[in-house]
Structure 1
Amino acid sequence: MRQRTRISNGGKVKGPQQLEHVVVTGVAGFIGSHLAEVLLKQGASVLGIDRRPPSHDPTAAQNLADLIAEPGFTLIEGDLTDLDLTRFTKGASAVFHLAGVPGVRPSWGDRFTDYLASNIMATQRLLEACAATDVPRLVLASSSSVYGTGTDRPSHEEDLPTPLSPYGVTKLAAERLALAYALRPSTPTSVVALRYFTVYGPQQRSDMAIYRVLEAALTRRPMRLYGDGTQRRDFTYVDDAVAATIAAASAPARAEVVNVGGGRTFSMLEVLECAAKITGLDIPIVRDSRQSGDVETTAADLTRAQQLLGYRPSTSLIEGMTRQWKWTLNRPAVPLSQ
């Protein structure tokens, strides 16, 4: 079953052609820090917002290390649920909203209140600020988790979303909220929501599969493998995800949802084989049961991404994992406390 997610309101709207000044929320995160770095190289000034202060968060410090000294970069430390966001969105060519609480497994139970505040309430406040300051384009980070179980074919943006975790529910709610704001009469802010499919690469979060596989190779401590390893994922290298994200800022759109994937799927057993080939080591594993909210397969239909963004992923899994392995070998140790 499909439902329409490509919505028109008086024709398509062209996003800003020149990104002179942009806002990146979640800038101390994995994708956010990569995105900010590329935007700076392209000549944009970047105002980054993140609630994780690098002075107290070692991972944030590591991710921001190459950005802090850049003359075009400004860091605002604070929570989107508390800040006066109109101060920071005023004059922006585009806002890239990557902030949020990630992770399927931790979203069950008491932590849901944080997911609710960070993924939904913060998004609503940012949308209000963008509308009040005439920001022409908001690019929203969504997730393949909104699809749920999927089908026997790649997921299309018009498929009916059936998220299987509280995390997926909050990402879908943020999407719908952003589209609703974009479709208000006379609204100044158009929206492109990107459904990322399992992004990996240097600086990947430590709870993600490829990070854990390569960490097991490095430390010889067994990786916990959930399920039988036949579950398949559409892995997307971070450089490809960033290219799609920047393209979304100028794509002709009013209110669009777009998949961003790697172009093919791999099972976890194939990922383990790939890691063994790259590292020259057997990957120690400990088997565990499948976890609540985990889906059997994710696969992206990239037709709309190709048409709207000119997006074609260019990094193979073995190439991307090789780059991440080199980063794993060379990254500075992150202290347990600071």
Structure 2
Amino acid sequence: MHMTQSADTSRHLRRVVVTGAAGFIGSHLSRALLEAGTTVIGVDRRGQQHDPLAAANLDELTSFPNFIPLTADLMNCPLEPVLLDADAVFHLAALPGVRPSWGPTFDAYVAANIQTVQRIMDAALRLRVRRVVLASSSSVYGATDGSSSKETDRPGPLSPYAVTKLAAEQLCLAHANRPNAATSVMALRYFTVYGPCQRPDMLIHRVLTAALNQTPLQVFGDGLQQRDFTYVGDVVRATIAASLTPAANTVINVGAGSSTSLSDVLDIARRLTGRSVPVIPSRARAGDVPATLADITQAQELLGWKPEVSLAEGMERQLRRLQEAG
């Protein structure tokens, strides 16, 4: 399915809610929906005054007359007025990060990643919202032998963050599978998403910035760890398709279906920038997995979707955006 086709299909969505709209994926998703003429209620607890990254992402959306920004915390704001009359809810808001989820911050992960799901599903069911699309994570699979992960594989999360994402999936599906539930669910297990406006703490942003500025890059592990890097534009197309497909109440992998080592990412960055990437080796971190690789058969069959942007092409687009930002 090509970008133009996906944009056309999103015209069926008259009014939607996007949580985490000021975030990396949420802002890209919101923009695609807005460009297709959908009214988007963009909910995020990060205010433009206090968070420069959120402000930059929201700035690109506020020029659209069909964008309704709402600064609110999903843990305590009244949800029914927000979800009222929505065709779908894209629940992307979450507290990210494997390493910070260990220890005293776990309560915040439970609140942001599980309790908000309970509140959203409760409100969606009462209002009979047709579809909730949940952003989940490939981290629910845990360590694998390097072969591709299928949705039917037994999950084995290796970090508190991954546990909360698996719990969110199960909670959504429990609500949707209740007798006479009017709200259906699609939970998307995003593999490593990258692209323009990626968070500064994420790998490809860090690699490209290290090359451009010649600042040392801290590399955890031996550099042989592999990730299924998925371009944000491809992820957006899959996410919109998940709101429209007749299939429901299941989980779907959203990945490139190919795996690339960190060493190869460094090589691509060197080629694109013409500069070396200074590296500081560090020990592997608790909760990090050696490899991720998506089996994307379900996405192809149920969403009519396949990834279109190669890692080198996607990194080049992200690099251009970084250079434009100066």
> Residue 136 of structure 1 corresponds to which residue in structure 2?
130
Cα distance between partner residues in 2 of 1:73 and 1:281: 40
Q: CA deviation at 1:311?
A: 1.1
Is 1:51 the counterpart of 2:40? The answer is: no
Normalized per residue, the structure richer in helix is 2
Structure 1 residues 17 and 44, CA, compared in 2 at 3 Å: closer, same or farther?
closer
State the one-letter code of the partner of 1:97: H
Cα-Cα RMSD: 1.2
> Residue 320 of structure 1 corresponds to which residue in structure 2?
314
Q: CA deviation at 1:136?
A: 0.3
Is 1:273 the counterpart of 2:267? The answer is: yes
Give the TM-score taking structure 2 as reference length. Answer: 0.96
Is 1:60 the counterpart of 2:35? The answer is: no
State the one-letter code of the partner of 2:68: T
State the one-letter code of the partner of 2:202: M
> Residue 8 of structure 1 corresponds to which residue in structure 2?
none
Cα distance between partner residues in 2 of 1:132 and 1:276: 53
State the one-letter code of the partner of 1:230: L
Gaps of 5+ in 1: 1-14, 333-338
> Residue 110 of structure 2 corresponds to which residue in structure 1?
116
State the one-letter code of the partner of 1:234: D
Q: 2:197 aligns with which of 196, 199, 203?
A: 203
Q: CA deviation at 1:321?
A: 0.1
Q: Deviations over 1:141-177 (max 9, x none)?
A: 0000000002341000000000000000000000000
> Residue 5 of structure 1 corresponds to which residue in structure 2?
none
**2:251 match: secondary structure:** strand
Give the TM-score taking structure 1 as reference length. Answer: 0.93
Cα distance between partner residues in 2 of 1:319 and 1:269: 17
Q: Deviations over 1:173-203 (max 9, x none)?
A: 0000000001000001000000000000001
Q: How do 1:225-244 residues align onto structure 2 when only pairs under 5 Å count?
A: 225-244=219-238
The answer (yes or no) to whether the contact 1:127–1:181 under 8 Å persists in 2 is: yes
Structure 1 residues 16 and 323, CA, compared in 2 at 3 Å: closer, same or farther?
closer
Is 1:153 the counterpart of 2:147? The answer is: yes
Q: Which runs of 4+ in 1 moved over 4 A?
A: none
Q: CA deviation at 1:17?
A: 8.0
The answer (yes or no) to whether the contact 1:100–1:119 under 8 Å persists in 2 is: yes
Q: Deviations over 1:67-120 (max 9, x none)?
A: 012100001101000110011111001000000000111111111111000000
Gaps of 5+ in 2: 1-8
Most deviating of 214-223 and 299-308: 214-223
Q: 1:288 aligns with which of 282, 298, 314?
A: 282
Q: 2:251 aligns with which of 257, 260, 277?
A: 257
**1:205 match: secondary structure:** coil
Q: 2:17 aligns with which of 2, 14, 23?
A: 23
Q: 1:70 aligns with which of 59, 64, 67?
A: 64
Most deviating of 160-169 and 148-157: 148-157
Q: CA deviation at 1:206?
A: 1.1
The answer (yes or no) to whether the contact 1:182–1:254 under 8 Å persists in 2 is: no
May I ask how many residue pairs the two structures share in their alignment?
Answer: 318
Cα distance between partner residues in 2 of 1:165 and 1:251: 32
Q: CA deviation at 1:263?
A: 2.2
Cα distance between partner residues in 1 of 2:226 and 2:80: 42
> Residue 5 of structure 2 corresponds to which residue in structure 1?
none
> Residue 292 of structure 2 corresponds to which residue in structure 1?
298
> Residue 7 of structure 1 corresponds to which residue in structure 2?
none
> Residue 4 of structure 2 corresponds to which residue in structure 1?
none
> Residue 309 of structure 1 corresponds to which residue in structure 2?
303
State the one-letter code of the partner of 1:25: T
Cα distance between partner residues in 1 of 2:68 and 2:325: 24
**1:24 match: secondary structure:** strand
Most deviating of 301-310 and 247-256: 247-256
Q: CA deviation at 1:317?
A: 0.5
Q: CA deviation at 1:285?
A: 0.8
Q: 2:178 aligns with which of 159, 179, 184?
A: 184
Q: CA deviation at 1:55?
A: 1.6
Cα distance between partner residues in 2 of 1:29 and 1:133: 26
State the one-letter code of the partner of 1:299: L
Q: What percentage of residue pairs aligned between the two structures are identical?
A: 53
